[in-house]
Amino acid sequence: MRGVCVLLMVFDHFMYDIADLFDKAWIATGKESVIQIVHLAQEYINNSLLRSTTQHIVVWIFALLCGISCSFSRSNLKRGVQACIIAGIITIVSYFMDADIKFGILHMFAFSILLWWLIDAVCCHNKMITAGVCIFVGIMIITMNTGFMTTYKANPQAFAQDNKLFFIGEFMLGNRRNFFSGDYYPIFPTTGYMLLGAALGAMIYPKKKSLLPHLGKYDWYKPFAFWGKIAIWVYALHQVVVVVLLAIISFIFITPGNFVVI
C-alpha cells in the first residue's frame, strides 16, 4: 500500500513539473502534440476531481501506514531522527532552489514518529496503554482541526498563513504573517491520523505477523513493496530525478539544445 502511494505521489509531481516548470517553453515550440501534453498536465493539476480527491486519500493512507509501521520498527527514535535530518536537508536545499519547504510531509512524519516514541516511553512501552493514549491524542488533534478549519472553509490555505494557529510557523517565523511552504502538511490534522494508525498497529499486529499471509502467494506485490521500503529516499530525491529526466527529454526531443530549467 505504501508503495502504491509513493508511485502516485511521483506521478502527481511529474504532472505538476510539466504544468508548472516546462509549460511555457514547451508551448512556445508550437508543436501540437507537446502543447496537448502540457494542457493535459495543467488540467490534471488545476481542475481534476481525481487529483483533488485522491491526494487527500493518499495522504491519509500514508499517515495511517506511518503509524502502523511504528509497531514494526526496531527503533522509532532512530527512525524519527533520520526523518528529521532528511527533512532538514530538504528545507535547506529547497531554500536555495527558491522552493522553500518549511514543513512538508516528511517534517510532519518526523514530528509524528517522535511524538509516538515519546508517548510510548511515557507509557513504559505498554502497547495497549500506548494505543489508548494515541487514540485519545489522535482524536483530539483531528477534532481540534475540525474546529479551527470551520473559520477557513472558503480558503483552507489560510490556515497555513495564520500563525496564530500554525504554532510551528509561529516559533519558526516570529511575527511574520505571510507564511509559505512549498510542501505543507500541518500537524492538525495529519498527525492525528498517524497516531490512530499507531494505535491500530499495536492492536492488530501484536505479534508482527501478516494478517493476510496468503495474499502474496505469487509475489505480485513485490514491485510495489520495493518502492514502499525505500519511501523516505524516494520522497527526498524523486523531484530532482523527475526534473532532470524531463530536462533531458526536453533537451533531446522537444527543445533541442535547451534543458529549460538550467
The verdict on 146 and 241 lying in the same domain is: no
Predicted TM-score (pTM) of the model is: 0.84
Across 26-30, 61-65, 67-71, 151-155, least confident range: 151-155
Residue 22 domain boundaries: 1-47+212-262
Tell me the average pLDDT across 73-96: 93
Q: What is the pLDDT of residue 142?
A: 86
The verdict on 139 and 235 lying in the same domain is: no
Q: Which residues contact 134 (CB under 8 A, 6 or more apart)?
A: 67, 116, 119, 195, 196, 198, 199, 202
User: What amino acid is encoded at 179 in this protein?
Assistant: F
User: What amino acid is encoded at 197 in this protein?
Assistant: G
The verdict on 87 and 200 lying in the same domain is: yes
pLDDT of 176 higher than 60 = no
- DSSP annotation of 151 reads G
Tell me the average pLDDT across 192-200: 95
Specify if 67 maps to a domain.
Answer: no
Q: What is the pLDDT of residue 179?
A: 62
